[in-house]
Amino acid sequence: MAAVILSPLASYPSGYTHTLATTWQEFVTDPRSRVITVENRHASIDIYVAFDSMGDPASPETPTDGGAVGTHYSTVPAGGSRVYRLREDNTGRHTSGSVFIAGASGSPVCYVEQAKGPA
C-alpha cells in the first residue's frame, strides 16, 4: 500500500473518500489541519483509527502503512463518525503527521475530513 497524501490543501474543510482493507492505510495530513473527522460509510462494519507516535491520542504501537492492526486504536462504529482534535506544538503546527485507518473486516468505505478549527 502507498500512503494517501492529503497535503497541501488549497481550501478547508477538505475531504477524501477511500475504500479500506483490514490492514492500516496511512493518510498523511496537512500540517495546518487542527481537526480530523473520520466517517464510517459502511452500514455494518466498524473501522479502526490510530495516529502515529506523536498523535493525540498517541498509539503505544506505532502503526505503519499496510501493517497489521494491533490492540490500541479508536473505533468508529458502522454508520458513525468521530472527531479528533490534533495536539499542537509550540509553533502552532500539529504534532501528528498521519492518521491510520483500517476496516474491522471486509472493505468498508471511510471519509476523512480535515479542518482548521473546532468542529
Q: What is the CA radius of gyration of the chain?
A: 13
Inform me whether the pLDDT recorded for 104 exceeds 60: yes
This prediction has a pTM of: 0.87
pLDDT value of residue 90: 63
CB 112 within 8 A of CB 84: no
CA distance 57 to 87: 9
d(CA 58, CA 87): 10
- What is the Cα–Cα distance from 98 to 33, expressed in whole angstroms? 11
Q: Which domains, and CATH codes, for the chain?
A: 4-115 (2.60.120.10)
> What is the per-residue pLDDT across 16-32, written as a single tens digit (0 to 9) for each?
999 999 999 999 988 88
* Residue 111 pLDDT level (bands cut at 50, 70, 90): very high
